[in-house]
Amino acid sequence: MNIIDLTAADCDFQAEVASRSGQDLKTCYQCGNCTAGCPYTFAYDVPVSQIMRLIQAGQRETVLNSKSLWLCASCQSCTTRCPNSIDVAKVMDVCRHMARENGCVSERTSKLFTDAFLQSVEKHGRAFELGLMATYTMKSGRFFDNIALGPPALLHNKLSLKPHSIQGKEQVARIFERFRKGE
Amino acid sequence: MAKIAYYPGCSGQSTSLEYDLSTRAVCRALGIELVDIEDWSCCGSTPAHTVNHVLSAALSARNLALVEQQGMDTVTTPCPSCLSNLRTAAHKMEDASFRDQANALLDTPCTTKIETLSVLQVIAEQVDAETIRAKVVRPLTGLKVACYYGCIMNRPPALMQFDNHENPMAMDKLMGLLGAEVVPYPLKVECCGASFGVPRVDIVTRLAGKLLDAGRDLDADAFVTACPLCQMNLDMRQGQINTALKENFRIPIFYYTQLLGYALGIDDKELKFNKLCVNPRPVFKKLSELKEAAQAG
Amino acid sequence: MRIGVFICHCGSNIAGTVDCESVAELASGFPEVVYSTDSMYTCSEPGQEGIITAIHEQKLDGVVVASCTPRMHEPTFRRAVERAGLNRYMFEMANIREHVSWIGKDKEHNTNKAADLVLMAVEKLRRNRPLVPKSFETIKRVLVIGGGVAGIQAALDCADGGLDVVMVERDQSIGGKMAKLDKTFPTIDCSSCVLGPKMVDIAQHEKITLHTCAEIEAVSGYVGNFSVTIRRRATYVDWTKCTGCGVCTEKCPSKRSPDVFNEFMGTTTAINIPFPQAIPKKAAINPATCTMIQKGKCGVCAKVCPVGCIDYEQQDELINVDVGAIVVATGYDLFDWHKYPQYGEGRYPDVITSLQYERLLSASGPTGGHIKRPSDGKEPKNVVFIQCVGSRDRSVDRPYCSGFCCMYTAKQAILTKDHIPDSQSYVFYMDIRAPGKGYDEFTRRAMEEYGAQYVRGRVAMIYPHGEQLMVRGADTLAGTQVEVPADLVVLATGVEAAQGAVKLGETLRVVPDQYGFFVESHPKLKPVETNTAGVYLAGACQGPKDIPTSVGQGSAAAAKALGLLSKERLESDPAVSKVNLSRCVGCQKCIGTCPFGAIKAITDRQGKLKAEVIETVCQGCGICTVTCPQGAIQLEHFTDNQILAEVNALCPPKMNASFE
């Protein structure tokens, strides 16, 4: 087990998460209510209350490399029930941003799906589900995960076969361009 | 009734086409005039805000700016995810420096605060109960439904400001007006697995399976949902859930607008029940049997 | 005037950063100063003797001491100058310790600043005049508001000490929250067995008059001489005749009255005696549920009453009583847990409060002391206790710790095992607060001997799962989520200020804090006093408290009341407001602004409206003096002239500078 040297806490990390999320992280007193309500705890490697604690302890590497960041669905149950009114989901979001910026990706498929989705939006202006599934499947190599969905989806005509491109798709593409330039 | 701008959301064009069509039909029947936002684009959904909050706000704000350009101040959407993104963007952009950052990514900036409401909220707050009751021609009498709201229709409460955030009642009341027997479903706001169906289907089968299980405990004939993602996870993935959990669920999953439309007598073609993966026919069979029994009795 | 100045070194406290000798030397040149010196400890015996000797030898008629805060030693030095024959108000103090030596390191600056402060004191003293306190008689009677255990203790101690006591209780019986408890921690002794005899003493003590179903309507007057109006609600029963036989309660057909004493676990009759040990043991009718009072039909109780004491026409009664001191012991109420929608908001009958659970445990409760869950009357096997429901939670505006929930939860876990040996208790807690004597050992016993599973974490949600309730919480020590299928969930609902506390505070002129608890005069040294002289606090009305602490405070408040009223006469502080009648225009703005009700309207001989200060009530706060548009009110000892003289000493007016 990793032994934490408390004097080596990364205070900049703490401060960056606090300022980017706009949350007062010192008010977290580790009651565990976020973990208690989180539907994803079973899939996490680090429960959300411990993410909060590790941020307080300035443990940048552990936090940014945790799978949990990529498995949070932003369902808001933590934020809604926090007795100290901390927007925990936003803290998770901010940590995920920082993980991405630092190239820490511990749940590859989760990131690939996000990327495929945004690529689709950038290309067409709207999300084109069949297209983004194709992109995701090619990049992830996960050909069989959702093969069972094929028959019902086709049978009930669930997926549109061609993208709904919009006139202003260039405008949307420029949003992404400017964003990347500014980064 | 006043006109209101309408944002269907991307899934309304494919996986939840029936939600979009039934929403339009129901609103027409209830006198709510929806005005399509011209050339709307994706709100960014969950993927955008997990990457960057300014990018996410800008993708949403492009649409808010379109609403502004069409001379309106309120927009409604059936999809809770779009709702959450549009509301979050408008809320964050009340901060001047954040607004400048988001607008800097746009061709046309968004300058005023546009209010976003769910279609459910519009119906719940702007159409009175008696009007709906009076329009019911095919009551749902005897049908046991579980209303499932999803995790972000009402949360976080400070942002959404609609209904009770642990035990929302808007759909329950609506279904009650139509004559349905609404079971006290306990997991109304518990997450279904959201968009993890693609990258981590194991998560969805577990979480959505739990939701179906709670509905079965209460002997529900059907689920009623208000979210395209929830509906897809519970309906289209019901087979996957059955395989993963060694279960045998066969619970039809409706959009609330479909059942509302049915009760209001709207043509089935506009409600698209054939889009549902779990066969809803047993539900209608039960309804007609109950009706016959009542008439005979 | 002949002024003497004494500069104190306070060991090295002052002398370390102030050149005291220089200050004394500078002071000798100040106006009317005829004597100036410095000493090591001015407050010591020799220090005080030095002042007295100087007064005699130098024929001083005013003294300035420059030392520490007047909160510390102003009374000491006032007594010293009085011993030397001067009026105690011919004394001024300059604080050169807290205001100078402790806050600055630069000796030169400090020395100059100390000299400035001494000059200010001298300038004020030059304008002081002797003031003489008035004295007045006291009424040897105490009002105790609230008949819980703190009020009971205060009342008994006052009465045993020889004072008359009037006790006012809002409910039908005294006993408060303690009367509802089954057992008490950490001894597991029976609550009503230890409280019962004290309640009986209240009823039987010849010096105690008890009014229940009663509340305080109005209070006027001042320390030693309060005038109190009590409203006694109609009980529709003549208590001078009622024997408490209980026949009426057996025969009453209206059985759907909310059972307040049993915390709404079930219902009771419209005419009711709340519990067997009630004091007074008298019946009262709930007018909201009595069909005779509501619809004019029934009258069964009047027919069956053997002494004819039912009176459906009874009205509220106002009782006036004069008292010398008041003890406030109004206790607390439970947090409204419905503010947590995730715990069901009352939709699940088997989620109950800790006080409701006490009633289930109690032999005099609705289940006769058998733990039966409300939904189906079954005996629960898995019992979950959730702590901090409405405590330490900013999101519901209750950031404070309620103090005793940890202990009663441990007790309830122990009692659960006693009642149902094959049961299992789970306690969700954040931190265990058990600082009392024998308390921590007690919580350990709950875990070690009684096998209660303590789980560190909050509970996020409760939802029905078949016949059980699924409790989903966290175990932060194991670092995971946990679920317990429970048969019964007991919420350790936190403590909040009693309903109506803020309104009572206004009546008594006792300030509540932001949560409605009354504020004591000093958090350490005056824990039962308030800032209104003659009004004392006991028990949980000041903040969450367990039984031993409440009893201790009851006795402490009684000691304060006894001490106060042991004096035949009391002196009032003469540093109060005074109206210059020739300038007063009778606008009455001062009357509205006075927080103590110390100013009244009078009519002078010409029939004109004027304001008059009731000297014994005035607390000398000075709000009226700045409110008066005419400048007609001056605060004695702090007049505009005196304060401006100090200001001018510090910043000499420019006009003077240019003309000199």
Whole-number CA gyration radius for chain A: 19
Q: Subunits touching B (CB < 8 Å, at least 3 pairs)?
A: A, C
Sign of CA dihedral C645, C650, C651, C655: positive
Same domain? For A92 and A24 the reply is: yes
For B27, B30, B256, B264, C529, the CA distances from B136, given in Å and listed in that order, are 14, 11, 14, 5, 68
Three-state DSSP state, B77: strand
- Measured in angstroms, the CA of C68 and the nearest CA of chain B are apart by 50
Subunit contact B217:C465, Cβ cutoff 8 A: yes
Amino acid of residue C249: T
* Chain B residue whose CA is closest to C342: B166
A1 within domain boundaries = no
Final residue before a domain boundary, out of C470, C496, C522: C496
Contact map slice: A 107-126 vs B, CB within 8 A: 107, 109-110, 112-115, 117-118, 121, 125-126
Instruction: pLDDT band for C432, please (50, 70, 90 cuts).
Output: very high
* C656 found inside a domain: no
Q: Which residue out of A1, A2, A31 would a mutagenesis test of the C interface target, given it has the greatest number of C Cβ atoms within 10 Å?
A: A31
Domain limit, last residue, from A39, A66, A101: A101
**Chain C: closest CA distance from residue A28 (Å):** 11
Residue of chain B minimizing CA distance to A126:
B42
Cβ neighbours of A171 in B, within 8 Å? 41, 62, 106-108
In this complex, do C393 and A83 lie within 8 Å of one another by their Cβ atoms? yes
Residue A96, domain member (yes or no): yes
Model confidence pLDDT, tens digit, residues C311-368: 999 999 999 999 999 999 999 999 999 999 999 999 999 999 999 999 999 999 999 9
Q: Check CB contact of C341 with chain B, cutoff 8 Å.
A: yes
Same domain as A51, residue A91: yes
Indicate yes or no: CB of C463 within 8 angstroms of CB of B167.
no
Q: A11 and A97: one domain?
A: yes
pLDDT at A80 over 70: yes
User: Maximum Cα–Cα distance for chain B, whole Å?
Assistant: 69
Q: Are A126 and B10 in contact (CB under 8 A)?
A: yes
A168 near C CB under 8 A? no
- Put simply, the answer to whether B39 touches A168 (Cβ < 8 Å) is yes
Query: Which residues are CB-contacts of C427 (< 8 A; sequence separation ≥ 6)?
Result: C384, C385, C387, C409, C410, C413, C446, C452, C453, C454, C455
- Taking the alpha carbons at both ends of chain A, their separation in whole angstroms is 36
A 10 A CB-CB count for C16 gives 14
B118 neighbors B194 (Cβ within 8 angstroms):
no
Tell whether B166 is within 8 A of chain C (Cβ): yes
Regarding whether C201 and C180 lie in a shared domain, the answer is: yes
More confident residue, B95 or C652: B95
pTM of the shown model? 0.89
**Whole-number Cα distances in Å, A103 to A64, A65, B174, C574:** 9, 9, 48, 76
Domain match, A35 and A79 both: yes
- Cross-chain Cβ contact B186/C464 below 8 Å: yes
Band (A163; pLDDT cuts 50, 70, 90): confident
Smallest Cβ distance to A82: which of C395, C475, C479?
A: C395
Length of chain A: 183
A77 and A114 housed in the same domain:
no
Tokens at residue C173, please?
């019986």
Structural domain harbouring C170? 141-233+316-331+498-565
Residue A59 lies in a domain: yes
What secondary structure letter does DSSP report for A4? P
**Domain membership flag for residue A57:** yes
For A154, the token pair is: 């086709």
Q: Mean pLDDT over residues C498-518, rounded? A: 96
- Nearest CB among B51, B105, B200 relative to A114 is that of B51
Q: Is A30 on the interface with C (CB under 8 A)?
A: yes
Q: Are residues C12 and C93 in the same domain?
A: yes
What are residue C462's DSSP bridge partners? C471
- Taking the Cβ of residue A139 and every Cβ of chain B, the question of whether any pair is shorter than 8 Å is answered with no
Q: How confident is the model at residue C656 (pLDDT cuts 50, 70, 90)?
A: low
Query: Residue C153 contacts by C-beta under 8 Å, 6 or more apart in sequence?
Result: C198, C538, C550, C551, C554, C555, C558
In a domain? residue C394: yes
Same domain, A135 and A79: no
Number of domains in chain C: 5
| C659 pLDDT more than 80 | no
Q: Out of C341, C342, C466, name the one closest to residue B217 (CB).
A: C466
Give the CATH number for residue C622. 3.30.70.3270
Q: HSE, CB side, 13 Å, CA atoms: give it for residue C377.
A: 4
Q: Chain A within 8 Å of B237 (Cβ-Cβ)?
A: yes
Please, what is the end-to-end C-alpha distance for chain C in angstroms?
24
Residue C242 covered by a domain: no
What's the pLDDT at B244? 96
- Kindly report the length of chain B: 297
Judge if C382 and C462 occupy the same domain.
yes
**Which CATH number fits the domain that encloses residue C118?**
3.40.50
A146 has a chain C CB within 8 A of its CB: no
Spatial distance between the Cα atoms of A65 and C391, rounded to a whole number of angstroms: 35
Q: What is the pLDDT of residue C660?
A: 41
**C13 and C93, same domain (yes or no):** yes
A1: contact with C, CB 8 A cutoff: no
- Name every chain C residue with its beta carbon within 8 A of the beta carbon of A44: none
Q: Which residue of C has its CA nearest to B219?
A: C466
Please identify, among A101, A117, A138, the residue that sits at the C-terminal boundary of a domain.
Answer: A101
Q: Does A34 lie in the same domain as A94?
A: yes
A85 lies in the same domain as A116: no
C272 and C367 fall within a common domain: no
CATH code where residue C386 lies: 3.50.50.60
Question: Pairing relation of β-strands B222-225 and C267-268?
Answer: unpaired
What does the CA dihedral B228, B230, B232, B233 come to, rounded to 10 degrees? 160
Domains of chain B plus CATH, in order, are 3-120 (1.20.1050.140), 138-296 (3.40.50.11810)
Number of domains in chain A: 2
> What secondary structure does DSSP assign to C133-160, as a single string?
--EEE---EEEEE--SHHHHHHHHHHHH
Classified as helix, coil or strand, C294 is helix
Residue C91 shares a structural domain with residue C167: no
C621–chain A Cβ distance below 8 A for any pair:
no
- Please name the residue that has the structure tokens 């225009």: C585
- Whether C130 is covered by a domain: the verdict is no
B184 CB near a chain C CB, below 8 Å? Answer: yes
User: Does A168 contact B47 at a Cβ distance shorter than 8 Å?
Assistant: no
B274 touches chain A (CB under 8 A): yes
Same-domain pairing of A79 and A18: yes
CA geometry: angle C395, C543, C216, nearest 5 deg: 110
Q: Does A141 touch chain B (CB under 8 A)?
A: no
Q: Does one domain contain both C33 and C86?
A: yes
Residue C396 has pLDDT above 90, yes or no: yes
Please name the residue ranges forming H helices in B31-137: 45-51, 53-69, 80-92, 96-103, 119-126, 129-135
CA distance linking residue C498 with residue C147, whole number of Å: 13
% of chain A at pLDDT higher than 90: 74
Q: Which residues of B touch A178 (CB under 8 A)?
A: 104-105
- Residue ending a domain, choose from A78, A101, A124: A101
What backbone phi and psi angles, to 5 degrees, belong to C469? -115, 130
Per-residue confidence (pLDDT) for residue B1, from 0 to 100: 59
Q: Is residue C175 part of a domain?
A: yes
Nearest-angstrom CA–CA distance, A112 and A139:
7
Chains that touch C (3 or more CB pairs under 8 A): A, B
The mean pLDDT of chain C is 95
Residues 47-86 in A contacting B (C-alpha not used; CB under 8 Å):
71, 73-77, 79-80
CB contact under 8 A, C341 and B184: no
pLDDT by residue, tens only, chain B of 297 residues: 578 999 999 999 889 999 999 999 999 999 999 999 999 999 999 999 999 999 999 999 999 999 999 999 999 999 999 999 999 999 999 999 999 999 999 999 999 999 999 999 999 999 999 999 999 999 999 999 999 999 999 999 999 999 999 999 999 999 999 999 999 999 999 999 999 988 999 999 999 999 999 999 999 999 999 999 999 999 999 999 999 999 999 999 999 999 999 999 999 999 999 999 999 999 999 999 999 998 887
Residue C479: which of A27, A47, A85 has the nearest Cβ? A47
Which of A68, A74, A98, A133 to probe the B interface (max B CBs under 10 A)? A74
Q: Do B186 and C345 touch (CB under 8 A)?
A: no
Pair C298, C424 in one domain:
no
If asked whether residues A24 and A90 sit together in one domain, one would say yes
Taking only the tens place, the pLDDT of each residue in A120-131 is 999 999 999 888
Sort C288 into a burial class: Cβ within 10 Å, 0-12 / 13-18 / 19+: exposed
Residues of C in contact with B165 (CB under 8 A): 341
Size of interface A-C (CB pairs under 8 A): 72
Q: Which residues of A fall within a CB distance of 8 Å from C481? A: 35-36, 38, 41-42, 47
pLDDT value, residue C111: 97
Of B190, B201, B203, the CB nearest to A146: B201
Q: How far apart are CA C225 and CA C323, in angstroms?
A: 6
CA distance A2 to chain B (A): 28
Question: What ipTM was reported for this prediction?
Answer: 0.94
CA distance C444 to A147: 56
Question: Cα angle vertex A135, ends A130, A139, to 5°?
Answer: 145
At C385, is the secondary structure helix, strand, or coil? strand
By the CB < 8 Å criterion, does A147 face chain B? no
Radius of gyration over alpha carbons of chain C, in Å?
31
Give the angle C217-C556-C332 at the CA atoms, nearest 5°: 50
In A, residues 73-132, which contact C (CB 8 Å cutoff)? Answer: 77, 81-85
Residues C389-396 have a mean pLDDT of 96
Report residue C84: phi and psi, to 5°: -85, 0
Per-residue pLDDT tens digits for C616-627: 788 899 999 999
**C321 in the same domain as C193:** yes
A88 and A143 part of one domain: no
Residue ending a domain, among C496, C519, C552, is C496
Q: Name the pLDDT band for C595 (thresholds 50, 70, 90).
A: confident
Residue C254: band (very low, low, confident or very high) from pLDDT cuts 50, 70, 90:
very high
In a domain, C646, yes or no: no
What residue of B is the nearest CA neighbor of A127? B10
C155 and C121 belong to one structural domain: no
Q: Is B70 on the interface with A (CB under 8 A)?
A: no
Token digits of residue C447: 């875990």
C-alpha distance from residue C182 to each of B200, C193, C229, C409 (Å): 53, 10, 35, 13
- Condensed to tens digits (0 to 9), the pLDDT of residues C194-221 reads 999 999 999 999 999 999 999 999 998 8
Q: Check if the beta carbon of residue B32 is closer than 8 Å to that of residue B10.
A: no
The answer on C443 and C462 residing in a single domain is yes
Instruction: State which residues form the domain around A27.
Output: 6-101
How many pairs of residues across A and B have Cβ atoms under 8 Å apart?
Answer: 177
What confidence score (pLDDT) does residue C1 get?
94
Residue-level length of chain C: 660
Residues C365 and C453 both lie in one domain: yes
Is residue C350 within 8 A of residue C343, CB to CB? The reply is no
Whether C643 maps to a domain, the answer reads no
Mutate to test the interface with B, among A75, A78, A164, A177 (most CBs of B within 10 A): A75
The rounded percent of chain C whose pLDDT value lies above 70 is 99
Cα–Cα distance, C134 to C223 (Å, whole number)? 13
Q: Which residue of C has its CA nearest to A44?
A: C480
